[in-house]
Amino acid sequence: MKREKGLLIVLSGPSGVGKGTVCGALREHDTDIKYSVSATTRSPREGEQDGVSYFFKSKDEFERMIRDGEMLEYARYVSNYYGTPRAYVEEMIDKGHDVILEIEVQGALQVKETFPEGVFIFLMPPSLKELRSRIEGRGTETDELIDSRMTVAEEEIDLMDKYDYVVENDEVQAAVERIKSIVTAENCRKDRLIHLYKQLMEG
């Protein structure tokens, strides 16, 4: 049965927990889910490509996009802006595709205001110690930035109860399987399907 609208899936959780890795693995498993590319004012890391990893923007351009209502949500995170361009997400959902956003917690809570029917998944590290060692292992941040990210991470974990699901990222494939099960179950929710079946039975 073809749904009228796709699901908006928000995958959130502290920086370094492995959202990018889990999303990448999910993408390999499930080619039907669409991935939103975020905009940011932070500088590209080695190997990151504009339009693939992020749309890299100047602060002025990012602020113009906010003013013109082009962002579905945005947040300032460790002195840079990050945001989800609205047009792609809305177009895909309207066409019936499921879309996943990989964003930090402030942005996820904004999306919850505008898309309460979204599916909010919090990706949890096995421990704070493990989280720090993952951020350190990435080798892309200075000690000062790692400390800032850890402070933000503890604040973010405090907001876990705003989410619908918590998935521990102990092992990437296991986390991917849990997320796929959540998406499958959410797509079978009565509230999302009942009107379609009523139309079918009546028509």
Return the number of the residue (133 or 184) whose C-beta is nearest ligand 5GP. Answer: 133
How many C-beta neighbours within 10 Å does residue 184 have? 10
User: Which residue's structure tokens are 């402070």?
Assistant: 151
| Shorter beta-carbon distance to ligand 5GP: residue 73 or 98 | 73
Say whether residue 84 binds ligand 5GP (CB under 6 A).
Answer: yes
Radius of gyration of the chain, Cα coordinates, nearest whole angstrom: 18
By CB under 6 A, is residue 186 in contact with ligand 5GP? no
Q: How far apart are CA 154 and CA 69, in angstroms?
A: 31
User: In the Cβ-directed half-sphere of 193, how many Cα atoms lie within 13 Å?
Assistant: 11
CA distance 135 to 56: 22
Among 8, 26, 33, 75, binds ligand 5GP (CB under 6 A): 75
Nearer to ligand 5GP, 118 or 192 (CB): 118
* Among residues 62, 77, 120, 122, the one that binds ligand 5GP under rule CB under 6 A: 77
DSSP class per residue in 176-194: HHHHHHHHHHHHT-HHHHH
The stretch among 99-107, 157-165, 172-180, 183-191 that binds ligand 5GP (CB under 6 A) is 99-107
CB-nearer residue toward ligand 5GP: 36 or 187: 36
d(CA 75, CA 106): 6
Distance CA 84, CA 192 (A): 24
Residue 38 as a binder of ligand 5GP (CB under 6 A): the answer is yes
Q: Is the CB of 88 or the CB of 182 nearer to ligand 5GP?
A: 88
The residues that touch ligand 5GP, with contacts defined as CB under 6 A, are 15, 19, 38, 42, 73, 75, 77, 82-84, 102-104, 106-107
